[in-house]
Structure formats: structure tokens, C-alpha cells
Chain A
Amino acid sequence: MIAAFLSKLKRTDWVLTACMTCLIAMGTAFIWSACSTRQIAVIQNIWRVHAGTAAFGLAIYFTLASIDYRRLFDFVAIPAYAGALVLLVAVLIVGAEIYGGRRWLWFFQPSEVAKLAVIIFIAYLLGREGRRSFKWFAAAGAAFAVPALLILKEPDLGTALVLAPAVMVMLLVARVWTKGLVALLMVALLAAGLVLGTVYVAERQNDEARKAQMYSRLPLREHQIKRLKVFLFPERDLKGTGYSQHQLLISIGSGSVWGKGLRKGEFKALGYLPQSVSMNDFIFAVVAEESGFIGNLLLLALYLGVLLPCLRIAFKATDERGQLLAAGVATLIFCHVYINIAMSIGLMPITGLPLPFISAGRTFLIVLMASLGLVQSVAVHNEEIAET
């Protein structure tokens, strides 16, 4: 019993745990900083909520790590997926409307839960020998498409955007219909290029009617087109649509090498960064302004310290479900990190996506820690099969 526990401890990836904990600690500090200038007590205390959630998340993390994920999958994969779908439908019906979207069921966001549920369900679906045919590809595609469409309906383009690459990577790792998948990837890239190209060409048109006609062909909402415009022409309207992007850039840039010091950032204090998002989607700007380039390097290193162990676990996993799960979770986290930071520094259009572990957001944090708990469980348990 004790020997088994010790061997489990030994197989646990401690780098992953340490880096994750460090990231959460950093997140707590910067949430405290971002909210310290706000007048409302509830908002000032968000960092406590973040720390409390993290403590709860750690419990879940270690619990999941100690449970064999394969047994868990058998029990949980289908109910979790079904439950997520129910919640996604429910949020569209009874969810509270905030900032023009229905994303909240009381205190949690079903779309965040759905991310993990989809990854588990697809890992469960494809993680067997012989499931390489187009039929399974179609099944997995449907398993992704249904919740993705519901999420788009909220609307939450960002969540749909990060989930797609994660599912794509899982399909590639599972080697299901690889050729078709690659082709699909190409089509997706082409479509993205086409949309951007259309906006670019339309913006250089002088004829307003023609412009409107070109925009009417794009399957995008008005605010999304605006963001693409800002991305393509950031200098155009610094006081209007380009304001947030401009403020993000100069607040990050003004942090310089060593940063201004924790809580010394001026952009969130003086309201140049939108106050409502400076502790979640825009928190990277606060981190960058206050901790500088050095702090950002540390942040990126910590993310690699989470991502690479996940991939190592996937690489070493003897069982395909574990491999898929670890790769899916790693991709999900990477996409979050990459998109959030890239949009902050103007490499991508602005999208509402939280920065993993750093941004305030209870549901997302718990989902992240649960995901990593499962990945840890893969590390701990998949070798047992080899032994037996």
C-alpha cells in the first residue's frame, strides 16, 4: 500500500506541479495588483477568490492524479460530455447576459467545462486500436462540432477557436484520416487567409457601397470585422476602435526590461486599460507592464514548464487514451497562452480569451487544474499496465 503510494509519488511529474503552482501564484499577485485600484470591495477581493479556487483546484488536481484515468473515463466520459451539452443549452436559455453574450450560468461558464468534456470524450472515443477509419473521424468531428456550435451561439468565438486546434491535434495523434485532416487544415488556413484578405482589400477601397458589399459576404459579426481592421491597420484609429490595441501595446512596451514593479502599473490604475478586463483577458498587459521583459521571460518559461511535461507524458504514455488526453490538454493550454499574448502584442486580432492560471476566472482555473490532474494521472498510472 505504502509502496504503491510511494511509486505513484515517484512517477508524478513534479516539474509540472511546481510550474503550475508558480503560475497560479503569479496570477494571484497580478490579479491583486490589477484590482487594487478599484473601488468595489468585491472586485478588490478577486485575488482571494483566485487563491481559494486554486486551493480547491489543487485538491481536485491531486485527487484526479491519484485515480486511474482509464477507470474514470469509463464512468465519466459520456456523462460529462452529455452534461456539458445540457449546460451549454441551458446557458443559452437561462444564462445571464453580460457584455452582449450569454456565457454564464450563475457563477460558472459551461463553455470552459465543455472544453475538457470534449477532450475527454474524444480521447475516450478514439483511444482504442482500430479506430482509424473515416467513420471515427466523422464521429469525433460531430463530438466537437455540436458543443462548438453551441459555444459559437453564446457567442464565444475564442473558446471555439482554441478547442479546434486541440481536437485537430488529437485527431492527428490518433492518426485518424490523416490525409483528409491535413487537407482540412489547409482549407481552414485558406479560409482564414481569405477573410483577412477580404478585409484588407475592402479597407483599401474608397467606394463605401462596394466595401459594404464585400463585408456582407463575410460570415462575421460587425465587432469581429472591426477587430480584424484594427489588426491590419493598427495606427488608423487610435482613439476609437484601435484604442484598446494601442493601449495594450504601449502599456506592455512601457514596462521595459525590469518592469515598473508590482502594483505600480499605471495603465490599469488610470483606466487606460479597460478596467473590466484588466484582471482577466487583458491581464498580460498588467503582467508585462509591472514585471517587464524579464518577468515575461519567466512567464513563458513557466508555461514551457507546464507544456513540455504534458508532451513528455504523452510521448511516454503506453496507452492511447492517455496520449490523446495529454496532447489535447497541452494544445489547449498552448493555444490559450499563444493567442492571449499574441493578441496583446498585436500579432493577432483581439479575441476574448483568458490567460491560463493568471487570469481571474474560477471555472477556467478549475478546468485547467482538473485537466492537468488527469494528465498527471496518465503519468502515474499508464506504466502500471506495462508492469502487469
Chain B
Amino acid sequence: MNPSRWFIAALGAVFVFGELVLGISLFRLQVLNVAKSRESQAIQTIRRVRVPGRRGRIFDRNGRVLAECRPSRCIQCNLEEFQRRGASSNTVAAVDAAIDALSRALAIPRQISAREIARHLHTASAIPLVAWQDLDEATFARFCERSHEFPGFADHVSAERTYPFGSLAAHVLGYTGRSDPEGFENDPVYFNEKEMKGRGGVESYYNRFLSGVTGEKRVTVDARGFRPTRAHKSIMDETEDGDVAPANGLDLALTLDIRIQASLERELEGVTGAGVVLDPRDGAVLALASAPTFNPNECVPALTHAMYANLTNAPAKRGQNRAISEGYAPGSTFKPITALAGLATAWMPEDEYNCQGVYRLGNLRLHCWDRYGHGSVNLSDAIEQSCNTFFCNLGTAVGSNAVITAARAFGLGSRTGIDIGGEYSGVVPDDEWKYRWYNEHWYPGDTCQMCIGQGMLLVTPLQMAVVAATLANGGRVYRPYLYARREGAHIASAVRRIPYEDDAIDLVRKSMKAVVETGTGRAILVRTEQAQKPGERRRRFRLKVDCAGKTGTAEIGRGETKRKNTWIIAFAPYENPTVAIAMLVERGESGGKTVAPRVHNVLAGIFGEEEVTGGRPSVHYYEGRD
């Protein structure tokens, strides 16, 4: 055999060896290291897109819809259909021109700018660009009919939050904004639309319940980061591996009763103030209002700068929920608490004090609102007539600690725990507190101030509603709530019982009944219609049920800023109460004159009223402050 043949045989061996090397390399690549390649492929071709579930609705206790999702008709632009060669600005220009053309053809003004198109192209080219949203039905129908003329555009219906009753219960509900979900900012392969998120109120507190569970869709992208165009889609399997369907949010049925809510808000119209109506039997919130208010529909889909200013600008601060997040001096509505503190220590119900119109304590001179004095009054009379000097004397007699303990037993000075955010704890001052904030020790004068609900004492209207409810139900402090997560859960939320004897509580309740019948708060029980024409009798309307209450007028500020915040706490019916109410009006005249008629109207809306004919005419009418 000649050497050439040997060489050819060797060449054959080289060929086989060469192919063997290729085969082994391919085996390593395609069999042993598949996982690595698959992972690299997934990283570059698969984008995860968040799919939010439908947000749950919010009802009142009678099933009226307070918040729901309405369809928002959108036109989407599929960017991949407008890809142009070269710089991305070419694609932006193509999309821009297409949007212009569509805008002219359908006579709808543009909603997005070229800059927004470019931003979307650079950050989220794999998901469609929403070119128009919230279109009216006619325009949308016009587009759908002619959509084949506009390749690359598609109709789409997304959800938008709406509040059918407008501003009603706005502070309770809050509103929804849209934002990027948290925790994914740095994950470039995780796309999302701006998702609805509750802001303020129930929308925020129960956001997790309402928003449901966000799902996930997987989108394949090509080398330029676009979704595959239709031509590619026909080839590739549309697998749904790894897709997670979203779960819709839960519907919430609140304890609110919109009829009570509406009448409460009507009474607060035009003033600055707040009101809370509780069910004293379990702490359910029947109505909670703050004035001035706002319309949450104006806050969706996104809060504008103008709207933000509208919500936050002083003095109106429409966004501020005064019922829970602002502290006020309670004024005389605090006196029932002082009374209980006294009864629990040394003061006897029949102990009397002679009111001379002024209370002197060292250099301090504290005036009673009746400058001539109430004369000799016992505790019951003192509550009925709201005698300041009596309670100053009582407080001095029993000491500040008893009063502080009583206030705290009612839950003042700490958050009630209502299920909406932004609650203020209020202040029940003591020596330590005063030293910390004012670097001064507690003076007996501070005790006097506190006993009549002034000084450093600060409470929220909600806390006063809890006080009213506690007095109404005979001493149980409930945690106020808007939504019962579990059936009967509120029973456990009876935080505690106040440590006072039933007799003492009864005495205070009786006194409060006297307040509305013969005392400073008669306007709660009876509405007097002024005569329309001279000579006509005044007509008087009485609630159909007995009730009890306490007026309050807190003086704050000095000189020019001096003003009065006026209060009422009340509950009805007197026996087995079902409603407890606290209402505050800033810059009022007095509790009895400013707030009492409003509370009457709210209660009349619940229990009804009837005209009083004949009967005992009013003996005298207190014009002074209480």
C-alpha cells in the first residue's frame, strides 16, 4: 500500500475525531448544560407583567354601593407594530404620527405627548401604551367600528374607581390613587401598569383586602424588547406556563348608614367641624363626617396638583379628617367624666357647692358662665346647668389624679383604634407630661382647667363619641369600627368597662337627661321654629324618644384669635340607647345654640320628631354660655 493511502486513512481518522470533538461539545452544551442556556434565554426573552385583580366594592350597612369600579374605555397602541429602523426616535415619531392621525380621524384630542411615548418605549415597550383613556361611549364605539382602519391600535377596557355618592363619607372612604407597586422598582423585567392603591380612609386601611391578589402574565419579547408582532405570534406557541391569574378584591360592607351619614353631613354643611355617630351597643360607626369635605371622584385616576392644594391648604384643609385626626379641648362635655371621678372618690351626690359666679384659687380667678352664680347646686344640678365653679371645686377636692384616671378610663389620651388611619391620640395631661412639654410642674389651676375640659386637654370628636357611647351603654368602652372582619368580632372589641359604680353612672345619665329637658341642651330635644310672621306662634318639635346629652363650649386663644369650639355629646333613646353622637363645630357661639339644633336634626332623622302642642311653655331660656 502506498504512503498516500496511509495518509488518506489517517485523514479519515482525523475527520471522525473532529466530528467526535464536535459531538462531545454539543453533548455538553445541549444535554449537560441545558439549564444554564434555558435560564439565560428566559432572562432575555421573558418579561413578567403584573395583572391587578378587580378592586372590591364598598357598601354601607344596607347594601348601598359607596365605592366601586367603573369601566374606563381606553385605546391602546401596540408599539411593536410601529417599529422603525434606526434610532428609537424614528419609532417614537411613527407612533406619534399614528396617534395624530387617529386623533384627527375620530376628532378626539390627544392625551399623551411624544415625551410620554418615548418614556414608555424605553421603559415598557413590551406592554401596550394607553393612548387614550376614559373615552365617552360614543367616541369609543366610533373607534371600535373603524378599528380595522387603524392597525396597531386596539380597544381596551380598564377599571377606574368611582364613588356614586360623591363627597358623601369621603373622609371615611378615602380615595384611590395610582402608583407603581412597591418593591419592584429595580427589576427591569417586571412590568406593571400604575396600580390602584387606597389613600386615606377605608380604601387605605383595607387596601390589602380590596385590591385582591395581583396576578402575573408572561410576555415574550424579541431582541429589541418588543412583543413579537403578529407574524411571529402565528409561529410561536402562546403558552401560559407560569401565568398566575389575579384574584379579585373582597367587597366590604361597612357599618355606615348613608342616611345618617347624609343628615350628619347636611348639618355640617358650611361650617368647619366634625361629627361621629356610634352604635353604643357595640361601637359600630354609623356615620363619621368632617367638614369641609371633598369629592373623591375628583382625586381619581390621579391626584392633580390643584386638587392636592385644595385638600391640604389651610384653613379649610379639606383632606383633614377632623373627626379623628385633630385634637380639640372638649369644654363642658368633659364634665360628666369629672363628675364620675368625683363620685368614685369622696363626693356624694347630695353634696352641694355654692356657686358665686367665680372660683378663686390663690391668684387664679375662674368665672362661671353665669356671672351672678348658680347659687347652691348639687352635682346633678351642676351638670344640668354646666356650672364651672362647682367642677373646679370638685376637682380640687378629689385631686387631679382621679380626674386623669377617669379620662383615661374612657379612652381619652390614646387612640380609639378605629379601622381608618391618621388617628390622633389626643392629650390627657399630667404632671410628667406638662414637665416634658412645658418644663413646669402641675399647678392646682391645671386641675381646675382640666375639670371643665379646658387647658391642655385635647380630644378628638371620635373620642367624645366613644365617651357618649360609654355613658349610653352603662360603662362599656368599645373600640369603634367600620368593618367587622369576622362575625361577632366586635364583641371582643369591648376594650374594657369603666371602673365606676352603676349608681354613679346612672346619676350622670339622669343629669344628662335633665340637660336636654331643662338644662343647657334643650335644643337637642326640642326644635323651635321661629315665627314666620309677627303674631304667629312659634312651633316646637320634640324628638319621639327621650334622650340625654351634654353641651360644651371651649374657649381657646386670646385676643384676636380668641374663638369658641362648640360641642354636643348625646345619646338616644334614653333607655336602651341605640345611638351615641358627638358633634363639634369650630368657631361657634355655644354648644347649646350652635350645635344642639344640628344634633337634634340628626337624631330626628333617625327617630323622628313630633310637634309639641300646648304643654309646658319654656320657663326661661339660657342665653349665656354653658
Which residues of A are interface residues toward B (Cβ below 8 A)?
36-37, 39, 169, 172-175, 246, 249-257, 263-264, 266-267, 269-272, 288, 292-293, 296-297, 300, 303-304, 307-308, 311, 314-315, 320, 323, 327, 330-331, 334, 337-338, 341-342, 345, 347
Contacts and interface: CB of A to CB of B under 8 A. Distances in A.
Contact of B31 (A169, A173, A257, A341): A257
B15 A253 contact: no
Given A253-B29, A271-B223, A272-B222, A266 B4 contact: no
Mostly, the A contact residues are: helix
Contact of A293 (B31, B45, B235): B31
B238 to A, nearest CB: 12
A250 B224 contact: no
Nearest to B30: A293
B30 A296 contact: yes
Interface stretch (B18-26, B150-158, B249-257, B259-267): B18-26
Contacts of A297: 23, 26
A301 to B, nearest CB: 9
Given A297-B26, A334-B15, A345-B22, 5 more contacts: A253-B29, A254-B34, A320-B4, A334-B18, A345-B29
B25 A347 contact: yes
Nearest to B20: A300
Contacts of A323: 4, 8
B327 to A, nearest CB: 59
Interface stretch (B35-43, B464-472, B585-593): B35-43
A36 B235 contact: yes
A256 B232 contact: no
B8 A327 contact: yes
11 contacts: A173-B8, A253-B29, A253-B37, A253-B38, A266-B236, A269-B236, A296-B23, A296-B30, A300-B22, A345-B22, A347-B25
Interface string B421-462: 000000000000000000000000000000000000000000
Interface string B1-26: 00111011101100110110111011
Contacts of A292: 30
Contact of B15 (A172, A173, A251, A304): A304
B33 interface: yes
Given A331-B11, A341-B22, A37 B4 contact: no
A264 B12 contact: no
B332 interface: no
Mostly, the B contact residues are: helix
Given A173-B7, A253-B33, A338-B18, A270 B26 contact: no
Given A253-B30, A254-B37, A308-B12, A175 B19 contact: no
B605 interface: no
A3 B222 CA distance: 61
Contact of A272 (B12, B44, B235): B44
Given A253-B37, A345-B26, A269 B232 contact: yes
Contacts of B44: 272
A327 B4 CA distance: 10
- Most chain B CB within 10 A, of A36, A266, A300, A338, is at A266
B19 A300 contact: yes
A299 B563 CA distance: 95
Contacts of B221: 270
B231 interface: yes
Contacts, number: 131
B237 A345 contact: no
B506 to A, nearest CB: 81
Contacts of A337: 19
Contacts of A250: 37, 40-41
Interface in B295-354: none
Q: 3 closest A-B pairs (Cβ-Cβ)? A: A253-B37, A270-B222, A271-B223
B212 interface: no
B184 interface: no
Interface string B204-242: 000000000000000011111000100110011100000
B27 interface: yes
Given A173-B4, A264-B236, A327 B11 contact: yes
A367 to B, nearest CB: 20
Contacts of B4: 173-175, 320, 323
Given A169-B11, A249-B29, A304-B16, A270 B45 contact: yes
Given A254-B38, A347-B25, A314 B236 contact: no
B223 A300 contact: no
- Most chain B CB within 10 A, of A175, A250, A267, A331, is at A250
A386 B518 CA distance: 143
Contacts of A249: 29, 37
B45 A272 contact: yes
Nearest to A256: B34
B268 to A, nearest CB: 61
B222 A271 contact: yes
Contacts of B40: 246, 250, 253
A315 B232 contact: no
A314 B8 contact: yes
B522 to A, nearest CB: 81
Given A293-B30, A297-B23, A311 B11 contact: yes
Interface string B26-68: 1101110110111011001100000000000000000000000
Given A292-B30, A345-B29, A264 B235 contact: yes
Nearest to A324: B4
A337 B31 CA distance: 21
A338 B22 contact: yes
A325 to B, nearest CB: 12
Contacts of A327: 8, 11
Contact of A269 (B15, B26, B228): B228
Contact of A264 (B16, B38, B231, B237): B237
Given A266-B41, A323-B4, A341-B22, A252 B232 contact: no
A29 to B, nearest CB: 15
A37 B235 contact: yes
Nearest to A38: B231
A34 to B, nearest CB: 11
Given A293-B31, A330-B11, A345-B22, A253 B222 contact: no
A39 B228 CA distance: 13
A168 to B, nearest CB: 11
Nearest to B233: A269
Contacts of B223: 270-272
Contacts of A314: 8
A256 B30 contact: yes
B15 A330 contact: yes
Nearest to B36: A253
Contact of B8 (A37, A288, A315, A342): A315
A262 B208 CA distance: 46
Contacts of B222: 269-272
A277 to B, nearest CB: 14
A269 B31 contact: no
A245 B221 CA distance: 20
